[in-house]
């Protein structure tokens, strides 16, 4: 029977009435199309692949070249030009100690652009980082400092705008009350997920992680199906926020979880440090993000999560569900403009059942397993009344009874804390797990294997990793594959890996490590050879191979005349490492748009025509060189 829930209003109205005590101010001017309604494609704190978004992304109607204005009085404290990342970026330090950031610019204003260009010619480098003296570029509020663009790793024309505090921590620009941005749309919710947090917990009498589609009831959401649970349960939410006039799915900065009207978890994402930003991998459900490209936010603080913007119960937000009792759960969401939304549902506490009947459930035909948290979930054909299995761990045999049955499938749970399991025997079948070692999350760890060595420094991992690896040689492609763990564990900082290949690679100079994606497409990683061993660093588990790149980069001239020089440069395997163009021996600045694979000249003296012997040298990451020569 489905129970329709009435949305409680007392606790929520008190919460939403608690306006943040953040003074809005006219200290800052909106940096683009000031005074007109603007639209955002991204908000501060939004969930990105491996970091929190540090500012707001202001739409520019799909065009480049809009005037960008200084948000307040100050001076230019930093200028950075990079191929990726923020591209052309400008930093202005203000009198109140904050810094505003303007990124992905098409170009700077003429005075700043000349300063940058001279520095690039002086250092003979397109990429450059400058810290002008305080009095070099004094800026007034509303001054034009640049023009909007699509430089760096931007996926389309827009202005990325930040306001940072005196410690260079990003603040939410919308806290300063810019009327150019309008928002009366509350957050939206797509799904709720519940997760068992230990092997004794159950959700609908099963162990694991289960997703539930929410349904709108009035202006809020409910779960239309009853949920039975027992033990320690974690709640996750798939949610986003929209602003007026844009369909972009933005982040939800403020969340609260209550159990029986008692707050157990609260998130107020007002600021963070860039050093903490990678904790997004543990703030969200990493495995689901990797496998389904959906970022569920955990409404509990998981092991290894050091982010500072939570307030939780002693259980770190994990719900404790007791049997024979009804538990009321409420999720409160609100955005920076205090638009609010709630999700409410009930959990009926029930002791776990030993046998479950499910429709459309695919019974196990053979032994199979999956690691979920710190428990190994093993499924087997379970036609016997009381089947048991035997797990072998640390040269000992343990009898393991079925935790429960689903139709004709027996489910066994092995607590990985008991020891690393080698194999399981059941009804004449044997299944080997392939676990090699337990890598602790906090301390350093070294592993030495036949074809791979691994070193993880202190705090490189967020939590325990159960190490697996396989090595295979594809005799058809003459290629080795080193698969090091399934990519279900996030990594905080670089670990070192040494591959000890079986095949011979005579040309070490042009041979490196490449990561293979799900379609076996390679991407350059690098590495350094030490005899027959190649060492590299990574922050990703997965499959790696060793490839030799002997082909030189592609160079194609597009425009060559006295006014401009334009080339297309590309490399099919290892990628472009560097390029240099000289004209009659003089270095020429070539701006690089890696997304279009275009380099384009910029003169030091606009009145001086290009003329003479041109030489363009393009080098890939494997050291292959294409030298293009002609006369202009």
Q: What is the 3-state secondary structure (H, E, C) of 421-487?
A: EEEEEECCEEEECCEEEEECCCCCEEEECCCEEEEECCCCECCCEEEEEEEEEECCCCEEEEEECCC
Same structural domain, 307 and 364: no
Same structural domain, 322 and 372: no
For residue 4, how many other CB atoms are within 10 A of its CB? Answer: 8
Same structural domain, 100 and 199: no
Please indicate, yes or no, if residue 58 is contained in any of the structural domains: yes
Please indicate, yes or no, if residue 183 is contained in any of the structural domains: no
Same structural domain, 452 and 513: yes
Confidence at residue 13, expressed as pLDDT on a 0 to 100 scale: 34
Please indicate, yes or no, if residue 6 is contained in any of the structural domains: no
Please indicate, yes or no, if residue 123 is contained in any of the structural domains: yes
pLDDT of 3 > 50? The answer is: no
Same structural domain, 196 and 343: yes
Confidence class for position 476, pLDDT limits 50, 70, 90 = confident
If we measure between CA atoms, which residue out of 75, 78, 73, 97 comes closest to residue 89? 78
Please indicate, yes or no, if residue 7 is contained in any of the structural domains: no
Same structural domain, 417 and 344: no
Choose one of 124, 144, 176: the last residue of a domain: 176
Torsion sign across C-alpha atoms 246, 249, 254, 256? positive
Please indicate, yes or no, if residue 20 is contained in any of the structural domains: no
For residue 578, how many other CB atoms are within 10 A of its CB? Answer: 13
In angstroms, the CA 573 to CA 422 distance is 39
Confidence class for position 400, pLDDT limits 50, 70, 90 = very high
Confidence at residue 477, expressed as pLDDT on a 0 to 100 scale: 83
3-state secondary structure 223-279: CCCCEEEEEEEEEEEEEEECCCCCCCCECCCEEEEEECCEEEEEEECCECCHHHHHH
Please indicate, yes or no, if residue 142 is contained in any of the structural domains: yes
**Looking at residue 133, which CATH number applies to its domain?**
2.70.70.10
**Looking at residue 627, which CATH number applies to its domain?**
2.60.40.760
Confidence at residue 94, expressed as pLDDT on a 0 to 100 scale: 97
- Give tens-digit pLDDT for 318-335: 999 999 999 999 999 999
Choose one of 125, 150, 176: the last residue of a domain: 176
| Average pLDDT of span 469-484 | 92
Same structural domain, 537 and 562: no
Same structural domain, 447 and 486: yes
Please indicate, yes or no, if residue 145 is contained in any of the structural domains: yes
- Give tens-digit pLDDT for 149-205: 999 999 999 999 999 999 999 999 999 989 999 999 999 999 999 999 999 999 999
Same structural domain, 544 and 580: no
Confidence class for position 387, pLDDT limits 50, 70, 90 = confident
Same structural domain, 429 and 442: no
Same structural domain, 214 and 343: yes
Q: SS3 for 182? A: coil
Backbone angles phi, psi at 175, to 5 degrees: -65, -15
Choose one of 548, 571, 603: the last residue of a domain: 548
In angstroms, the CA 632 to CA 628 distance is 13
Confidence at residue 475, expressed as pLDDT on a 0 to 100 scale: 84
Q: Are strands 310-312 and 262-268 parallel, antiparallel or unpaired?
A: antiparallel
Same structural domain, 310 and 377: no
If we measure between CA atoms, which residue out of 44, 54, 70, 32 comes closest to residue 243? 44
In angstroms, the CA 520 to CA 178 distance is 47
| Average pLDDT of span 575-584 | 97
What is the number of domains present in the chain? 5
- Give tens-digit pLDDT for 525-558: 999 999 999 999 999 999 999 999 999 999 999 9
**Looking at residue 420, which CATH number applies to its domain?**
2.60.40
In angstroms, the CA 612 to CA 623 distance is 27
In angstroms, the CA 443 to CA 136 distance is 47
Give the structural domain span for 584. 554-631
Q: pTM to 2 decimals?
A: 0.91
Confidence at residue 384, expressed as pLDDT on a 0 to 100 scale: 66
- Give tens-digit pLDDT for 342-367: 999 999 999 999 999 999 899 988 89
- Give tens-digit pLDDT for 49-74: 999 999 999 999 999 999 999 999 99
């Amino acid at each position: 029977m489905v129970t329709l829930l009435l949305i409680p209003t007392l606790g929520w109205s008190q919460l939403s009435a608690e306006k943040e005590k953040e003074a809005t101010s006219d200290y800052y001017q909106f940096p683009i199309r000031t005074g007109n309604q603007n639209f955002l494609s991204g908000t501060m704190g939004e969930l990105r692949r491996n970091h929190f978004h540090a500012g707001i992304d202001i739409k520019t109607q799909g065009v480049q070249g809009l005037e960008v204005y200084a948000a307040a009085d100050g001076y230019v404290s930093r200028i950075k030009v990079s191929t990726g990342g923020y591209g052309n970026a400008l930093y202005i330090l203000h009198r109140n100690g904050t810094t505003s950031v303007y990124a992905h610019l098409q170009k700077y204003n003429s005075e700043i652009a000349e300063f940058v260009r001279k520095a690039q010619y002086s250092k003979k480098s397109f990429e450059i980082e400058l810290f002008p003296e305080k009095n070099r570029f004094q800026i007034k509020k509303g001054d034009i400092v640049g023009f909007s663009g699509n430089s760096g790793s931007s996926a389309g024309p827009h202005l990325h705008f930040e306001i940072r505090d005196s410690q260079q921590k990003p603040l939410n620009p919308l806290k300063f009350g810019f009327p150019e941005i309008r928002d009366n749309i509350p957050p939206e919710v797509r799904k709720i997920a519940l997760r068992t947090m230990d092997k004794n917990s159950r959700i609908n009498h099963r162990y694991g992680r289960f997703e539930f589609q929410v349904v709108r009831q009035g202006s809020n959401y409910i779960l239309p199906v009853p949920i039975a649970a027992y033990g320690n349960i974690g709640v996750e939410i798939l949610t986003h926020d929209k602003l007026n006039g844009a369909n972009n799915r933005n982040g939800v900065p403020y969340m609260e979880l209550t159990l029986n009207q008692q707050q157990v978890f609260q998130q107020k994402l007002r600021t963070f440090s860039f050093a903490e930003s990678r904790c997004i991998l543990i703030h969200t459900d990493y495995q689901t993000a990797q496998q389904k490209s959906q970022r569920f936010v955990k409404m509990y603080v998981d092991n290894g999560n050091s982010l500072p913007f939570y307030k939780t119960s002693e259980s770190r937000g994990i719900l404790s569900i007791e049997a024979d009792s009804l538990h009321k759960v409420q999720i409160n969401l609100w955005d920076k403009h205090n638009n609010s939304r709630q999700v409410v549902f009930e959990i009926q506490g029930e002791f776990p059942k030993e046998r479950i009947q499910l429709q459309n459930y695919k019974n196990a035909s053979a032994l199979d397993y999956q690691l979920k948290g710190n428990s190994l979930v093993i499924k087997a054909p379970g036609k016997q009344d009381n089947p048991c299995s035997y797990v072998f761990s640390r040269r000992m045999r343990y009898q393991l009874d079925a935790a429960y049955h689903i139709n004709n499938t027996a489910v066994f749970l092995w607590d990985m804390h008991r020891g690393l399991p080698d194999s399981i025997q059941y009804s004449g079948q044997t299944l080997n797990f392939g676990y090699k070692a337990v890598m602790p999350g906090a301390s350093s760890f070294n592993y030495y294997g036949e074809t791979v060595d691994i070193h993880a420094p202190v705090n490189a991992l967020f939590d325990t990793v159960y190490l697996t690896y396989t090595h295979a040689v594809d005799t058809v492609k003459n290629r080795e594959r080193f698969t090091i763990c399934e990519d279900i564990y996030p990594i905080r900082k670089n670990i070192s890996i040494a591959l000890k290949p079986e095949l011979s690679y005579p040309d070490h100079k042009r041979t490196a490590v490449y990561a293979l994606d799900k379609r076996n497409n390679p991407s350059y990683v690098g590495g350094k050879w030490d005899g027959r061993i190649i060492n590299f660093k990574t922050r990703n588990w997965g499959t790696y191979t060793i490839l030799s790149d002997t082909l030189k980069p592609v160079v194609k001239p597009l425009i060559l005349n006295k006014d401009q020089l334009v080339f297309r440069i590309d490399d099919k395997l290892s990628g472009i490492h560097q390029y240099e163009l000289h004209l009659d021996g003089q270095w020429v600045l070539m701006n690089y748009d890696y997304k279009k694979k275009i380099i384009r000249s910029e003169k030091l003296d606009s009145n001086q025509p290009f003329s003479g012997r041109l030489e363009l040298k393009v080098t890939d990451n494997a050291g292959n060189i294409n030298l293009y020569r002609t006369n202009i």
